Chains A and B, each alone.
Chain A
Amino acid sequence: MTWNMLSHPDLLRPRTAADMTPRARRSLAPRSGSRGVLAAAARVLPLLALLTACDAGFADPSREFAEPIADTVPYRTTIRMPTSHGVVDTPLRDVHGTPIGVACETCHGPNPSEAWTATPGDSFHTGVELKHGTLTCDFCHTEDRLAFRLADGSRLERGASMKLCGQCHGPQLRDYDAGAHGGMSGYWDLRQGPRVRNHCTACHAPHSPAYERVMPVHPPRDRYLDTTPAGARREEH
């Protein structure tokens, strides 16, 4: 007999006394006196004892849980903003060999410095390798190069670039907003501490966003993984 047949409504419907055998009628009759109670207890008690034995609780129940956390004002989630915003690396190097960075306003601001504008733009922005689909500079940067340009032509101030990326990468932005895309550190429980989240550009270089391949850190020496690719025996663990 399957479970479905057992639980079929027809089988569960109460019968009249006339349908039943005498034994079934007795079993349904209300129990009288203490004998019924004792019999029920005798049946339940061993079960209770068994359940208690299975549940190995704490000898000191106060050790079972930590102190509950008071519901206070939650800590904040902050976004680790790009540090290079508004600075471009030039071909010039300082004494340590580090590229000299120049703020965009130096050339693109209201008072451009002639020391820099004398250099043609293409040879100047050498730190930028544009490998982002078929995009060109003007797709994301305004003509004055001081802000971002959204697809509808409107201006977006620097620092709000996530919206710019999200125009094309909608699913990623949706996942990011839900906390399911992008690295983070700190606290999962904002009642206990703050959280810091990555910005898009922490992982994806905006001008060439494809992820570079990396070498993995060393593999475990594990007894289930008994050979290296070269076939040498691994140390056991």
Chain B
Amino acid sequence: MPEISRRTVLKGAGAMLGAAAFARAVAPASAWVANLSVDEFLQRHYKELSRDEMAAVLARLEAETEEKYGVRVQIQDVRPQPGVQFGYALNLSICIGCRKCAEACQIENNHDRRTNNSYIRVLEMQKGSLDLERGTAIYEHAVPQPDKFYMPVQCHQCDNAPCVKVCPVDATWKESDGIVVVDYNWCIGCRYCEAACPYHARRFNWTAPEIRGEEINPDQSYLSNRVRPQGVMEKCTFCLHRIRKGRLPACLEVCPTGARVFGNLLDPDSEIRWVLANKRVFVLKEELGTRPRFFYFFDK
């Protein structure tokens, strides 16, 4: 039996260590490949996709949702109607702060159930003041309290949107019907937009949403309520997948007091136009020049 030199042993040990270190170093790459397909990595910006490419993307997303949550969903690319500009108004004299709108938003838009997420935050405000600093979104007593009023805040779809301006990669933009949207597959999750929004209307997916398959709303669209991936921003789109097909937003339908008015700002006979013409209307933080599409009003 040949004598094994000390040098050979050291060489062998060194080689084994090297191989182990290499395997450890490349391990994240295999994990990366497992949860990020090449197609997804190479996917271009929403506006650069042709119809065929968009169809392929939607099919891939549907398959991914089925694999992950075990439900068949339909994800559509719902585009705006020409001649439509959406506006939303909310009657603060009527709102009782029951948070049904926030709940409906969560169900409609496939929000994370663990954090009880929603695009709507209802503030309980002291009567006689519009100071948001004195409002609270956490109240757990019977509503309405006699000395309070209730102010739901969601995305205002600003015409001069700070969140769109700060996005470094053009992952969020304003569409021709006034809705500010996010391409979840283009967003890099830097959260500049969340910091820029004066209404705290944007939400970040710290984790992939936790939601049971049977609770998923299968009527989905690419730019709105499809289940978001981890690490991207999301926001209210006035239920884009509903309103672009003529339906009312989910938060309006569920409102038990009828405090919400929605419609086409370009239609002079619409309900929203009547409110703007006849009610005492204001926008939140008007002094910032964001020019919101969301209006508040009082009856008296």
Contacts and interface: CB of A to CB of B under 8 A. Distances in A.
Genuine A/B complex: yes
Interface of A: 56-60, 62-66, 68-69, 171, 175, 178-189, 191-193, 195, 198, 203, 211, 213-222, 224-225, 227-229, 234-237
Given A56-B45, A60-B49, 17 more contacts: A56-B47, A63-B51, A65-B82, A179-B263, A179-B274, A180-B91, A181-B94, A183-B257, A188-B262, A192-B247, A214-B142, A216-B99, A217-B99, A219-B139, A220-B102, A224-B137, A224-B200
A222 B122 CA distance: 12
A225 B248 contact: no
B217 to A, nearest CB: 16
Contacts of B206: 236-237
Given A188-B264, A189-B264, A222-B137, A178 B142 contact: no
Contacts, number: 169
Contacts of A211: 96, 144, 257
B275 A217 contact: no
Given A59-B47, A188-B243, A203-B257, A180 B271 contact: yes
B14 to A, nearest CB: 46
B96 A185 contact: no
A193 B144 CA distance: 34
A69 B81 contact: yes
A228 B138 contact: yes
Contact of A229 (B47, B89, B140): B140
B261 interface: yes
B279 interface: yes
7 contacts: A66-B79, A184-B248, A188-B243, A188-B262, A215-B142, A237-B112, A237-B203
B54 A63 contact: yes
Contacts of B141: 215
B229 interface: no
Nearest to A185: B253
Contacts of B138: 219, 225, 227-229, 234
Interface stretch (B16-24, B33-41, B63-71, B113-121): B113-121
Main SS of chain B's interface residues?
A: loop
B221 to A, nearest CB: 12
B115 A68 contact: no
B48 interface: yes
Contacts of A62: 51
Nearest to B249: A188
Contacts of A188: 243, 246-248, 262-264, 270
B219 interface: no
A189 to B, nearest CB: 3
Interface residues on B, range: 35 or more
Interface string B82-115: 1000000101001011111011000000001011
Contacts of A183: 253, 255-258
A63 B200 CA distance: 31
Interface in B113-158: 114-118, 121-122, 136-144
A47 B117 CA distance: 44
Contact of B81 (A60, A65, A221, A235): A65
Given A62-B51, A186-B248, A189-B264, A216 B140 contact: yes
Interface string B251-292: 011011110011110000011001100110000000000000
Contacts of B136: 225
B72 interface: no
Given A191-B246, A198-B258, A217-B103, A56 B121 contact: no
B78 interface: yes
B8 interface: no
Contact of B173 (A56, A178, A216): A56
A191 to B, nearest CB: 7
Nearest to A211: B96
B246 A192 contact: yes
Contacts of A57: 47
A214 B145 CA distance: 10
Contacts of B112: 237
Contacts of B139: 216, 219, 229
B245 interface: yes
B116 A213 contact: no
A65 to B, nearest CB: 5
A187 B239 CA distance: 13
Contacts of B270: 179, 188
A180 B80 contact: no
B246 A193 contact: yes
Contacts of A66: 78-82, 244
